[in-house]
A and B are shown apart, each in its own frame.
Chain A
Amino acid sequence: EAGVAQSPRYKIIEKRQSVAFWCNPISGHATLYWYQQILGQGPKLLIQFQNNGVVDDSQLPKDRFSAERLKGVDSTLKIQPAKLEDSAVYLCASSQELTSGSEETQYFGPGTRLLVL
């Protein structure tokens, strides 16, 4: 079974530029998550999709970050314009459809390491 795919693996940009990350979840997984992992910290959820609908985007800085999951499969996360503090690893994860009391495991991709100069 193929895992969660992410690209690019690394990206270096200057502040105020824009950047986009792509994620392809495990086939059949209805739930997709984007996490931000700042150096020395645990991952923090940015946005969660169930199929192509947003479940939770309470921690997404909506003035500069956007995400979409057209057709309920792959997803893109965009930052425009980027700030120095956006330097982090952006992790995508997926799980089977979330239901009440679900113990579904989240499977993580390798991440995209972003450096903003």
Chain B
Amino acid sequence: AQSVTQLGSHVSVSEGALVLLRCNYSSSVPPYLFWYVQYPNQGLQLLLKYTSAATLVKGINGFEAEFKKSETSFHLTKPSAHMRDAAEYFCAVRTIYNQGGKLIFGQGTELSVKP
């Protein structure tokens, strides 16, 4: 069975500092991995996805993530945090087709950005 673990339910950084949100996955097959962001009272918005092409994936709003098979990780980074980055971030792995292709989400990491 596939699963996702996000380390740290809450991360706080200062504006302009590096953002690092951790995600480890478990999958018996090559995974498709996703990062979504959720702003208060809104749905989930796709930040980026890994689909077995380049291991370094660039997304929207200056975020990127690197797929590391040896570490079963897909950590999300941004060089310089902005106040508008404050939100909840979810890492997800997609099941293979014969399991319906549904997304399995981590429990989320709330990012706070201090001025």
Contacts and interface: CB of A to CB of B under 8 A. Distances in A.
Given A48-B102, A101-B97, A103-B49, A110 B43 contact: yes
B38 to A, nearest CB: 9
A90 B43 CA distance: 10
Nearest to A9: B41
Interface in B44-102: 44-46, 49, 51, 90, 92, 94, 97-102
A91 B41 CA distance: 11
B103 A106 contact: yes
B106 to A, nearest CB: 5
Contacts, number: 64
B28 interface: no
Interface residues on A, range: 20 to 34
A105 B90 CA distance: 15
B25 interface: no
Contacts of A110: 41-43
Nearest to B50: A103
A108 to B, nearest CB: 4
A40 B90 CA distance: 11
B105 A43 contact: yes
Q: Which 8 A-B pairs have the closest CB atoms?
A: A42-B105, A108-B43, A56-B100, A103-B51, A108-B44, A100-B97, A110-B43, A45-B102
